[in-house]
Structure 1
């Protein structure tokens, strides 16, 4: 099935700037469906969500179209990759999404005080999609350290990707993915869920749910205690 963005009279320059990730087009809908169920359970009806590693901007726009009760802050470490920043801005402009803020540069491996001026306990939700396996371990540490400070009490950190469990990677497709990532960058690779659980606990959070997703991926939900 082909899904079309709600685009309002976009100029050719906007359309050219809108990058398209085939993987994002495949996974946005199942991820969005879970997010809708989870976020609608939150006690506050107007939420503020930070997306780490927004990439092309496809996810955050889709989420905003489905969940108008959330204000979304996209971010990306790739400040030097101007095409990503342009792509996010182009999606915002083309869809007239007033609930998506302009993207900010954010390196999640840095101390939370450097996270684009976000204040302590300012976020209801932090979302990271396919970020941790494409990052060194210090980024995972930074994500959990920062989330522990920036998420409100009872707020959520939600991560999506492929993971190891107790040091074991299954099935074979995930083994191959881990090998491919480590060839590209020796510091990359599938993070271990048990290690992430420990990072969460050390930062005042606990892993509440692990949801099986398509293509042997998982969605992890951590809650701020």
Structure 2
């Protein structure tokens, strides 16, 4: 089982925001999909905090270990999912299968094809009024602030020329073109933002 100190530091805030965003739906069980689950720390804590059902991808052995150690009952076993592929290939999920799709620090380390795929796929996989929740640093109308975020953007682009901080305005247009609207933007510490899109 792998452990990320960064995930530990962010866990309380992430769970707090997720619970706040989903508060109006707390009376029913939700089916959620986390894209780019990494080692599994977030998803297990999300499930214990919010009682979400979930499907995972990536670092699957570590996710399985977290499920086993925590004995959480609402997290399904991890599956491979390439968000750049058409939504019909998303682990066989049918149209309108999910109430919530979560992507934590995924869009920043993805090609534009994957970013576009996340938005397009979410527009199909989410039920009406379902939510896509993304987290991380972003550009706004082509501008990245503060300077430390510019440095991060450059570091990501050096690692992979297709990566970098996505622009909120481009994401908003992509969402609108795929049947979603930005419901809200939540700003938190360290210049990270939570973007909440609703399927309409």
Indicate the TM-score class for this superposition, using the shorter chain for normalisation.
Answer: over 0.9
Q: Pick from 99, 108, 132: which aligns with 2:74? A: 99
Distance 2:97 2:27 in 1: 13
Give 1:150's aligned residue. Answer: 125
Give 2:40's aligned residue. Answer: 57
Q: Moved runs in structure 1, 4+ residues, more than 4 A?
A: none
Segments of structure 1 that go 5 or more residues without pairing to the other structure are 1-17, 77-83
Secondary structure at 2:164 match in 1: coil
- 1:113-163 per-position Cα deviation (integer Å, ceiling 9, x unaligned): 000011100000000000000000111100011000000000000000110
Correspondences of 1:1-225 after superposition (within 5 Å): 18-42=1-25, 45-68=28-51, 70-76=52-58, 84-225=59-200
Secondary structure at 1:141 match in 2: helix
Segments of structure 2 that go 5 or more residues without pairing to the other structure are none
Task: Give how far 1:183 is off.
Answer: 0.6
After TM superposition, the score normalised by the length of structure 1 is 0.87
Distance 1:43 1:123 in 2: 15
Max Rg structure: 1
Aligned residues: 200
Q: What CA RMSD, in Å, does the superposition of the two structures yield over aligned residues? A: 1.0
Task: Give how far 1:65 is off.
Answer: 1.1
Distance 1:174 1:120 in 2: 36
